[in-house]
Structure 1
Amino acid sequence: MKAYQWLAVVAATSAAVACGTQPSRRVAGPVVEITIARGSINPTTASLTAKVGQPITLRVNSDAVDELRVHSAADHRFVVEPEIEQVFSFRADAPGDVAVELRHLNRTVATIEVQP
């Protein structure tokens, strides 16, 4: 292959790579800080918003076993242990309201309005 042909191939390849799409940045989603202590919960009935597909993080400090239930198009369940700094994450796949509840304490922790 002659030098000018090789340069043409390199130039074409470089142009094709340069025209590619930029990597998409993931936008951080909401974080719900949950504390369960001596039968009390904080927060209760918090309201948040998120976008479809955005990660939603639940950070839990608890002194008791319980179960977090996320009611959305695809329900999620997370076992809460009597530990600090537990982290659970999920993504809402469809617009609408998503309720986050504690099963044993029978309380709503948060409602997340998921927008398109």
Structure 2
Amino acid sequence: MTIRRRRLGSVTVAAGALLVGCASGEPATAPVTTPLTIDIRIANGEVSPANTRTDAQVGQHIVVRVDSDAADELHVHSAPPHTFPVAAAAGQEFGFTVAVPGQVDVELHHLGRTVTTLLVRP
């Protein structure tokens, strides 16, 4: 019977330590993730890639690099949404993060094309 009490006591102490750690008010830190880069090319009214799926994580830095021969707007349908003006130029870079898990469409407004759907996981 004393063995059981010792085990129960150890479990109680360990559980109490976990509760104290959780109640400390310190923010939880997310694991560091590598940035995600999406390359987009717009030429002669066509966009590449188009209608793809891309895995991402909440809080991951996402960089969209665009080479374009026409002006457009890049829309990221996340909460909050992001809008970036695309110029007729090469080497443009736009960065953002997504705070809420789910599916997030990245589209070109004037062309009316979905470049990719981000599958954002917690």
Same fold (TM over 0.5): yes
Equivalent position of 2:70 in the other structure: 64
Matched-pair identity in %: 45
Q: CA deviation at 1:26?
A: 3.4
Partner residue, 1:83: 89
Letter in 2 for 1:34: I
The answer as to whether partners of 1:58 and 1:88 remain within 8 angstroms in 2 is yes
Q: Is the 8 A contact 1:48 1:112 kept in 2?
A: yes
Q: TM-score, normalised by structure 2?
A: 0.73
Q: In the alignment, is the contact (CA less than 8 A) between 1:68 and 1:80 conserved in 2?
A: yes
- CA deviations on 1:88-110 (whole Å, 9 max, x unpaired) are 01000010001000000000000
Measured after TM superposition, the shift of residue 31 of structure 1 is 1.2
1:38 aligns with 2:44: yes
- SS class of match (2:115): strand
Structure 2: tracts of 5 or more residues without a match: 1-29
Letter in 1 for 2:115: V
SS of match in other structure, 2:89: coil
Name the structure with the higher strand share. 1
- What is the Cα-based RMSD across aligned positions, in Å? 1.3
The residue number in structure 2 matching 1:27 is 33
Match of 2:23 in 1: none
CA contact (8 A) 1:29 1:50 kept: no
Deviation at 1:25, TM superposition (A): 7.2
Q: Which amino acid in the other structure matches residue 32 of structure 2? A: R
The count of aligned residue pairs is: 93
TM-score for the superposition, normalised by structure 1 = 0.77
State how far apart, in whole Å, the 2-side matches of 1:88 and 1:25 are. Answer: 23
Gaps of 5+ in 1: 1-23
**Equivalent residue, structure 2, for 1:47:** 53
Confirm or deny: 8 A CA contact 1:42 1:109 kept in the other structure. yes
